[in-house]
Amino acid sequence: MPAIGFGTPGAGGTAASVDADITLTVDGEQQRLTVDTRTTLLDTLRERLGNASPKKGCDHGQCGACTVLLDGDRALSCLALAVAHDGAEITTADGLAAGGELHPVQQAFLDRDAFQCGYCTPGQICSAVGVLDEVRRGWPSHASEDLTADPELTHDEVAERMSGNLCRCGAYANIVPAVQQAGGMA
C-alpha cells in the first residue's frame, strides 16, 4: 500500500493535493517518488522524472502519443494514474534502446522513414512492440478473418492494430511496412 499524506486544504473548502509515495521501475531504473494522486503516469514520467520520451498529444486517450509498455503491455499513460500503478515496470521508447542500440522496431522506423515530426513516434514504436507481441501470442483483431487462426502481419492486420496511434504527419503508409519489417515479414 502506498503511504498517503493529506495536503493542506485550500480556502473556500477546496482541497489541495493529496500525495502518495510510490515506486516505479522506469526503463530499468527503480524510482521512489511522491506523487499527487491526480498525477497521470504520463505526467509522472514527463514532469517528475524528466523522461519526455512518451508524448502528450491529447491527455484523453485519443491519440496514442503517450503509449508506453506497462508491465509488458502497451498502455496509454495519460489514462493511468500513477498512484494506481505502484510497483509497475514501465518501458518507454527511449528504454527500448537501452544500451545505445536501437530496437528492431526503431531501426525499421528509421529505415522506412515512418515519421516526420517525430511527435507521435515514441508512442507508435511502443505500440508496435506491443502489437508484435500480441500477434505472437495469437490475439486476433477486428481485421482477423479467422479469430482462432494465428494472425499474420498483413497490411490490414497491422493497420488495424496501429490505429490507436494517430499520426498527423500522415506517415501511416510507411509505418505499416516498418512494423512488418520489424516483425520479420518484409
Partner 1 sequence: MTELLEPRAIGRDTVRRDGEAKVRGTATYAIETPVEHPAYAHPVQATVARGRITAIDTSAAEALDGVLVVLTHENAERLASTDDREFAVLQGDEVAFRGQLVGVVVAETSELARQAADAVRVTYAEQPHDSELRVDHPDLYAPEQVNAGHPTDTAEGDVAAAVATAAVTVEETYSTAMYFNNPLEPHATTALWDPATDVPLTLWDSTQGVHPARAAVCEVFGLEEERVRVVCPFVGGGFGSKGTPHANLMLVTMAARALPGRPVKLALTRQQMFALSAYRTPTIQKIQLAADRTGRLQALALDVVEQTSRIKEFAEQTAAPARMMYASPNRRTTHRLAALDVPVPSWMRAPGECPGMFGPEVAMDELAERLGVDPVELRIRNEPEVDPETGKPWSSRNLVHCLREGAERFGWAERPPAGHREGAWLVGTGVASSVYPTMRQAKSTATIRFEDGRYVAEIGAADLGTGAWTVLPQITADALDVDLDDVEVRIGDTRYPVASVAGGSSGTNTWGSALVVAATEFRSKFGGSPADGDEVSGDVDQASKDEDHSAYAFGAQFAEVRVNVATGELRVPRLYGVFGAGRIVNPRTARSQLIGGMTMGLSMALHENGVWDPRIGQAATHDLAEYHVTVNADVGDIQAHWLDEHDPYVNAMGSKGIGEIGITGTAAAVVNAVHRATGVRVRDLPVTLDKVLAALP
Query: By CB under 8 A, is residue 167 in contact with partner 1?
Result: yes
Residues 7, 62, 73, 152: which binds ligand FES (CB under 6 A)? Answer: 62
Assigned C-alpha cell, 162:
496501429
Nearer to partner 1, 4 or 102 (CB): 102
Tell me the closest approach of the beta carbon of residue 71 to partner 1, in angstroms.
Answer: 20
Tell me the closest approach of the beta carbon of residue 20 to partner 1, in angstroms.
Answer: 13
Selection from 59, 60, 55 nearest residue 127 by Cα:
55
Nearer to ligand FES, 33 or 169 (CB): 169
The binding track of 22-61 with respect to ligand FES, each residue x by CB under 6 A or -, is ----------------------------------xxxx-x
By CB under 6 A, the residues from 113 to 152 that bind ligand FES are: 115-121
Residues 20, 63, 80, 182: which binds partner 1 (CB under 8 A)? Answer: 63
3-state secondary structure the chain: CCCEEECCECHHHCECCEEEEEEEEECCEEEEEEEECCCEHHHHHHHHCCCCCCCCCCCCCCCCCCEEEECCEEEEHHHCEHHHHCCCEEECHHHHCHHHCCCHHHHHHHHCCCCCCCCCHHHHHHHHHHHHHHHHCCCCCCCCCCCCCCCCCCHHHHHHHCCCCCCCCCCHHHHHHHHHHHCCCC
Residues 35, 45, 66, 179: which binds ligand FES (CB under 6 A)? Answer: 66
Q: List contacts with partner 1 (CB under 8 A).
A: 7-8, 10-12, 14, 16-17, 36, 38-39, 43, 46-47, 50, 52-60, 62-63, 65, 92-94, 96-97, 102, 106, 109-110, 113, 115-122, 125, 143, 155-156, 158-160, 162-176
